Structure 1
Amino acid sequence: MILITLGTQRFQMDRVVDEIDFLIENKKLKASEVVLQYGYSRKSKYATNYKLIDEALFDELLNKAEFVICHGGTSSIIKALKASKKVIAVPRMSKFKEHVDDHQIEIVQVLYEKGYIEKVENINELGSIIQLLRNKDYVKYESRGQLAKYIVSHVLNI
């Protein structure tokens, strides 16, 4: 099963949903294998859809997932990494009206460069990144707080 979580921000990420539907329509993914938490995006035509997911169900789905596709928020990514899941992060972009700024691009880039995740900025690459992810090993995430400190100081400049 593939768990896709687009978060709880009051911004849409319809480009992710549209691409997932495209991949299902073109037999690159099976609808029965895709669970989508769509938040403020549109629903998938094919996947199992949840607007929001309570924590207990999210943890259950996360444990069952082969991998996770999520927006570029640190909470979603780190939760998946802590569960030892492979992650494809699609950063929210202001040019698509998915957020007010592009800080998620920077966060995702740091995690990608450190070898923890895959990233997708051009949504048309999602299908090929899924195939890459299935055959690639990633750096195992170990929570020591250092990554969070690095992101806060170097990416968010706080």
Structure 2
Amino acid sequence: MEVSFKVGRKQNMIFVTVGTHEQQFDRLVRCVDRLKAEGKITEEVMIQTGFSSYEPKACRWSKLCSYQEMNEYMDQARIVITHGGPSSIMMALQRGKIPIVVPRQKQYEEHVNDHQVEFSRFIEEKQKNIIVVEEIDTLEKVITSYEKTAAALGQKQSSNNQRFNEKFEAIVDKLFEGKRR
């Protein structure tokens, strides 16, 4: 059952967003829900499930969130886990978060091709300010070691944050230019 989540005070929580692409992303939603149910994630979890068919049992969730709700959830979250969509990644980075990025993959019928995998790998290699998880089996370990990993990346990012955001926006603009033609 879809559950509303009270937005407001700062919490120790994890926010998961799968975007609004019309294909399911059950692989990510199911994994996070299982980790919460097994007690491997102890904090509050809010999942924006999009068009996933799996409905979480242990986590709060909503199919879609308004732009304002997305901003508030990201601001509140200790950890943001997102699909490999440029806008979601940029939204997290603009809020000072180092997101865990789980790109949608064609082999799981999560997208029409593997552009999210390619894009995520590119950003991880060039900018070194996101944590990419392609194999869902490794998500638990990445969440467990998040603070240490994010701190190391954050130190590298802080002096170049503004420059990165400008370059990232240019990359996103170029991607969308190709879609408009």
Asked whether the two chains share a fold, i.e. TM above 0.5, the reply is: yes
Residues 58 and 147 of structure 1: CA distance in aligned 2, closer, same or farther (over 3 Å): closer
Distance 1:105 1:148 in 2: 18
Candidates 137, 154, 170, aligned match of 1:149: 170
Aligned-residue CA RMSD (Å): 2.1
2:55 is aligned with 1:34: no
Alpha-carbon separation, structure 2, partners of 1:132 and 1:20: 15
Q: Is 1:132–2:138 an aligned residue pair?
A: no
Change (3 A) 1:8 1:151: closer
What does the per-residue CA deviation read over 1:130-156, in whole Å, with 9 as the maximum and x for residues that have no partner? 122222222243255323435677x99
Which residue of 2 is the match for residue 4 of structure 1? Answer: 16
Q: Does the 8 Å contact 1:89/1:108 carry over to 2?
A: yes
**1:24 aligned partner:** 36
SS class of match (1:16):
helix
Residues 63 and 150 of structure 1: CA distance in aligned 2, closer, same or farther (over 3 Å): closer
Relative to structure 1, the CA distance from residue 132 to residue 51 in structure 2 (aligned partners, 3 Å threshold; closer, same or farther) is: same
Which amino acid in 2 is paired with 1:145? E
Query: Which of 100, 110, 134 is residue 121 of structure 1 equivalent to?
Result: 134
Give, in whole Å, the separation in 2 of the partners of 1:7 and 1:83: 17
Structure 1 stretches of 4+ moved >3 Å: 148-153
Query: Structure 1: any 5+ residue segments left out of the alignment?
Result: none
% of aligned pairs identical? 33
Structure 2 runs not aligned, ≥5 long:
1-12
- 1:49 aligns to what SS in structure 2? strand
Cα distance, 1:63 vs. partner? Answer: 0.9
Larger radius of gyration: 2
- Distance (Å, rounded) in 2 between the aligned partners of 1:47 and 1:122: 21
Specify whether residues 151 and 132 from structure 1 end up closer, same or farther in structure 2 by C-alpha distance, changes over 3 A only: farther
